[in-house]
Structure 1
Amino acid sequence: MKTINIVAGGPREFIPDLSEYTDGDTTWVGVDKGTVALLEAGIVPQEAFGDFDSITEEELLQIQKAAPALHVYQAEKDYTDLELALDWALQKEPENIRIFGVTGGRADHFLGNIQLLYKALNKDTVVKLIDRQNEIQMFEPGRYTIEEKVRRRYISFIPFSEAADGLTLIGFKYPLDNCHIPLGSTLCISNELIHSRGTFSFAKGILIMVRSAD
């Protein structure tokens, strides 16, 4: 399995055109109301997760008829519907997991969804949160090469740990060399690549990278 696309129930106006993300060996997964968004986009999910307390009975019947595998949970549980879907997806060990419908709306859900990226560290799966304007990804220490994206030219790095040590940016408009970035710093907000590709590396900590359109 190459790619698993998960669509959650966030505000529709933040969800990009999902047809752009159907490529090759792709499995689609709906999470609660996100399953309805998939069906309305003409995409039949292979799996659907949730307590489905945010949809109508008619919508639930549509999901039951369409989804080959339906995972229904009680509303009172220790994990969000998205976390249950992500755990399932990580067990499949795909190359990529792309998650949509997780920005906008309730801030508590959005912050929790950011933290779910931590589950993918130390795994061989690239996990991204994607909306119309942003891609969000989390990294452990190492050296990484990134390609220019015209539609998301702005690149920001934000510590997820107490600090990120030894951050070096090469090929960026604002380069850095072995820099200490403490939690709470905005030093690395809104950078840009000056070539078709660039590299970033750091020695300690955890970083969030956000690639954004203006």
Structure 2
Amino acid sequence: MKVLIISNGDIKDYNFYKKLIKDADMVICADGGANHAYRMKLKPHLIVGDLDSIKEEVLEFYEKEGVRIEKYPPMKDETDTQLAMLKAIELGAREITFIGVIGERIDHSYANLSLLLYLLKRNIKGKIVNEMNEIYLINKFIEVEGKKGELLSLLPYSKEVNGIYTKGLFYGLSGQSMDLEMPYGISNVFTDNKATIEIEEGLLLVIKPRE
């Protein structure tokens, strides 16, 4: 099951996300993410969180629409996005896409990268998407679709990443390593309509930026 989680971070171009919404089997809003869903005229399957950032009129609207709402106490260890992810897993998600998780709050944005690690360790596909980026985390292999000339950045998420092999990128790698202290994988370039990245050891962020 494919689940789309909408959080309360920056979302500017709502039309950009139409395909992600169409492809999702279930939509879960993390608290104020429901404000975005409301503006998109989207009825989510579930809203979770402490409900401190959802607008009152939005909450009332979705209550009248019969949307399932799970309220948590504000004094909790998990963020609302983490709660939404855990709920998605509980409901059987095998692939989760997060939107609205990158914004001006660097602490939240950085913490949300760890969502991908949580999913990776449980063999659940995960990615973070906004208007400017697609973000993946791998420990073995990934194939990313793109167009010739588009950019793809590879950044270590562990102290070292060893045995990196790529195909379909201008700056090819054939077994090299990358260090967290001095990454060199920024702004590689697609030479084909897809790129493959394989690593032998470590954790690697694969980021497809849009210019």
TM-score, normalization by structure 2 = 0.91
Task: Report if the CA contact (8 A) 2:97-2:126 is conserved.
Answer: yes
> CA separation in 1, counterparts of 2:30 and 2:59?
12
Match of 1:203 in 2: 200
State the 1:157 CA deviation: 0.9
> CA separation in 2, counterparts of 1:122 and 1:35?
28
- Identity value in percent: 26
State the 1:146 CA deviation: 2.6
Match of 1:103 in 2: 102
Match of 1:22 in 2: 21
Match of 1:163 in 2: 160
Match of 2:35 in 1: 36
> CA separation in 2, counterparts of 1:66 and 1:119?
32
Match of 1:135 in 2: 134
State the 1:14 CA deviation: 6.7
> CA separation in 2, counterparts of 1:23 and 1:60?
23
Letter in 2 for 1:43: L
> CA separation in 1, counterparts of 2:65 and 2:79?
23
TM-score, normalization by structure 1 = 0.90
Root mean square deviation, CA, Å? 1.9
1:104-128, Cα deviation, whole Å (9 max, x unpaired): 1211110110111111113342111
Q: Residues 41-52 of structure 1 correspond to what in structure 2 (within 5 A)?
A: 41-52=40-51
Task: Report if the CA contact (8 A) 1:14-1:103 is conserved.
Answer: no
Letter in 2 for 1:94: A
Match of 1:77 in 2: 76
2:145 is the counterpart of 1:147: yes
**Measured at CA, do residues 154 and 44 of structure 1 come closer, stay the same or move farther in structure 2, by a change above 3 Å?**
same
> CA separation in 2, counterparts of 1:14 and 1:114?
22
State the 1:40 CA deviation: 1.6
Q: How many residues align?
A: 211
**Measured at CA, do residues 204 and 60 of structure 1 come closer, stay the same or move farther in structure 2, by a change above 3 Å?**
same
**Measured at CA, do residues 193 and 83 of structure 1 come closer, stay the same or move farther in structure 2, by a change above 3 Å?**
same
State the 1:149 CA deviation: 4.4
**Measured at CA, do residues 44 and 207 of structure 1 come closer, stay the same or move farther in structure 2, by a change above 3 Å?**
same
**Measured at CA, do residues 121 and 134 of structure 1 come closer, stay the same or move farther in structure 2, by a change above 3 Å?**
same
1:160-204, Cα deviation, whole Å (9 max, x unpaired): 111100111122100011111011223101111211223211111
Task: Report if the CA contact (8 A) 1:8-1:32 is conserved.
Answer: yes
Residue of 178, 183, 206 corresponding to 1:181: 178
User: Secondary structure of 2:22's partner?
Assistant: coil
1:55-105, Cα deviation, whole Å (9 max, x unpaired): 333232123223521110111111100001101112333342111101112
Of 48-57 and 10-19, the range deviating more from structure 2: 10-19
> Unpaired segments of 5 or more residues in structure 2?
none
